[in-house]
């Protein structure tokens, strides 16, 4: 698309964007939650076309999420550049349900975006969404929300935005802790970023929760520690009053200035399935042009506070994604599109060298395990797509199974698996988990007796059309055949369980192997194909 940016710019699960510019280069860091390696950093030269540049948290000294519950792990990283160094702040959330949250905040640095990134400096655990502000005098300040486990009457547990100085020589926070902003009447104040402009400190925050009431609000002060006066036209960005906007859940934003002095805002959004409030692609990243008014306040350049699906940008051509991405496992490195879950010891889950030309998964714990699950997958970024893989696998009994999976979390997945049937035959089965425990449990679809020929590879496929997912299979040179019923693809989403507060990630499509007998039986995959289908 010429002279126009179509949102989102980072489709599929890419929430909580933080953006910075270094010369002509732009970088966006997004949350990865329980997926490893931690943090995605994309690069662009024009704000329209983005490529994955780095996943910096890639070793045990930086990140170990074994045992982290679903939707914990890396929350809301903040990426900045100062003093010739990239600064990356992140939270490793260990618990988030109930009154308490155990989130630990760290800092890593690198001289190049590709790394190597340093071992982490521990900062604090007072609350999540940490951000580092580099003031004009060279001092550095950490801001993060304060978590208040004692919910106030008529209020919430978001206890305001804390500010504390970071000492670069001592590599620790120093001095008093200031609570600089209690938030507005929208409540749930989080995601803080500070900016300095024309003698003002501008504080940008996310409010209203990360669901359909999400929003961006702003405040400003002449003094860093406040008091902060709120923007007269808050919220600056939201779709809470715009249910027909294709970019719902708009909020959690950050600002960047171009070399020409223009200001742009990146923010998260969600694109629900038509006629629903279910977003299998998860929370994505969009961009809006913004302007500073004569009164010194920031507003959307196109007016109002609703995000634009298409944003004018003269001279830019936004390229469409490839119709097909085909992966063969002939390298000793996993293709960059793929991630796995939680562990910094991927050699326990898979190997690209044990059988050259194959991705070998070692069957580990059960589907949705929080410690070791052999599942390698990529994001679903279209609601019109398909995935295919070819598998060689000889299970010994029903406790060993491997195949093609559509996975949101431990209670929301669809899985076409090769295993052993009750009579000892090698068979196909379709497993689904449609809801949270205890209201939902594993369902085995009645697919008849699909007995497979021993020793032959099997091809497994799935097709997604909006809210419907259909598995298929073929053996040898045979034609594709549908298997099982059409499944609900919409439940593989933040909102799919019907939970009041939902989850925070997005659906993944990939390859999995499970051996709950503990024998680590391997499954070999020769390829993986992902296709985006025209509507």
Q: From CA 266, how far away is CA 521, in angstroms rounded?
A: 45
- Active-site option among 365, 372, 394, 468: 372
Q: From CA 220, how far away is CA 523, in angstroms rounded?
A: 57
Q: Which of 159, 254, 258 lies closest to 202 in space, CA to CA?
A: 254
Classify burial at 424, counting beta carbons within 10 Å of its beta carbon; exposed 0-12, middle 13-18, buried 19 or more: exposed
Q: Which two tokens stand for residue 157?
A: 């547990």
Q: From CA 88, how far away is CA 92, in angstroms rounded?
A: 13
Q: Which two tokens stand for residue 111?
A: 């001289």
Q: Which of 442, 367, 376, 379 lies closest to 410 in space, CA to CA?
A: 367
Q: From CA 341, how far away is CA 344, in angstroms rounded?
A: 9
Q: From CA 178, how far away is CA 23, in angstroms rounded?
A: 33
**Omega before residue 37 within 30° of 0, cis:** yes
Active site residue 388: no
Between the alpha carbon of residue 369 and those of residues 70, 308, 364, 375, the distances in Å are: 10, 39, 9, 10
Q: Which of 131, 162, 157, 132 lies closest to 145 in space, CA to CA?
A: 162
What DSSP designation does 206 have? E
Return the number of other C-beta atoms located less than 10 Å from residue 482's C-beta. Answer: 13
Q: From CA 524, how far away is CA 317, in angstroms rounded?
A: 40
Q: From CA 363, how far away is CA 185, in angstroms rounded?
A: 50
* Strand ranges in 96-246 using DSSP code E only, listed in sequence order: 102-110, 121-124, 131-134, 140-147, 158-167, 172-181, 190-197, 200-207, 215-221, 229-230, 237-238
Q: From CA 401, how far away is CA 523, in angstroms rounded?
A: 9
Residues with catalytic roles: 372
């Amino acid at each position: 698309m010429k002279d126009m940016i179509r949102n989102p710019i980072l489709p599929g699960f890419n929430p909580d964007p933080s953006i910075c510019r270094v010369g002509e280069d732009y970088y966006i860091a997004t949350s990865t939650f329980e997926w490893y390696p931690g943090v995605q950093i994309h690069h662009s030269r024009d704000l329209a076309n983005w490529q994955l540049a780095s996943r910096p948290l890639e070793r045990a000294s930086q990140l170990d999420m074994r045992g982290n519950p679903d939707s914990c792990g890396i929350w809301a990283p903040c990426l900045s550049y100062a003093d010739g160094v990239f600064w990356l702040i992140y939270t490793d959330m260990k618990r988030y349900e109930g009154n308490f949250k155990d989130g630990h905040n760290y800092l890593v640095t690198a001289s190049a975006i590709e790394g190597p990134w340093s071992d982490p400096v521990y900062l604090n655990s007072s609350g999540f969404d940490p951000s580092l502000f580099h003031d004009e005098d060279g001092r550095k300040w950490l801001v993060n929300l304060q978590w208040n486990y004692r919910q106030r009457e008529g209020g919430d547990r978001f206890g305001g935005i804390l500010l504390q100085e970071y000492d670069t020589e001592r590599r620790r926070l120093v001095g008093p802790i200031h609570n600089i902003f209690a938030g507005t009447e929208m409540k749930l104040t989080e995601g803080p970023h500070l900016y300095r402009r024309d003698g003002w400190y501008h504080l940008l925050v996310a409010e209203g929760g990360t669901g359909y009431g999400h929003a961006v609000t702003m405040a400003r002060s002449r003094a860093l520690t406040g008091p902060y006066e709120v923007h007269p036209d808050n919220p600056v960005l939201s779709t809470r009053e715009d249910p027909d906007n294709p970019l719902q859940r708009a909020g959690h934003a950050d600002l960047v200035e171009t070399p020409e002095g223009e200001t742009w805002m990146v923010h998260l959004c969600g694109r629900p399935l038509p006629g629903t409030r279910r977003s299998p692609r998860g929370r994505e990243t969009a961009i809006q042009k913004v302007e500073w008014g004569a009164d010194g306040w920031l507003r959307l350049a196109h007016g109002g506070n609703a995000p634009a699906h298409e944003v004018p940008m003269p001279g830019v051509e936004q390229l469409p994604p490839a119709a097909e991405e085909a992966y063969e496992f002939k390298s000793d490195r996993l293709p960059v599109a793929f991630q796995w879950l939680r562990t910094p010891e991927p050699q326990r889950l898979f190997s690209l060298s044990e059988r050259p030309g194959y991705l070998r998964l070692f069957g580990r714990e059960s589907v949705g395990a929080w410690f070791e699950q052999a599942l390698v997958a990529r994001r679903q970024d279209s609601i019109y797509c398909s995935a295919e893989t070819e598998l060689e696998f000889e299970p010994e009994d029903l406790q060993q199974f491997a195949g093609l999976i559509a996975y949101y979390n431990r209670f929301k997945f669809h899985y076409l698996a090769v295993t052993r049937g009750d009579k000892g035959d090698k068979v196909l089965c379709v497993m689904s988990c449609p809801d949270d425990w205890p209201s939902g449990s594993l369902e085995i679809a009645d697919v008849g007796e699909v007995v497979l020929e021993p020793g032959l590879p099997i091809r497994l496929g799935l097709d997604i059309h909006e809210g419907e997912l259909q598995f298929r299979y073929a053996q040898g040179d045979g034609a594709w055949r549908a298997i099982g019923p059409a499944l609900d693809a919409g439940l593989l989403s933040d909102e799919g369980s019907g939970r009041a507060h939902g989850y925070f990630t997005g659906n993944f499509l990939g390859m999995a192997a499970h051996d709950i007998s503990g024998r680590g039986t391997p499954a070999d995959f020769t390829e993986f194909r992902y296709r985006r289908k025209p509507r």
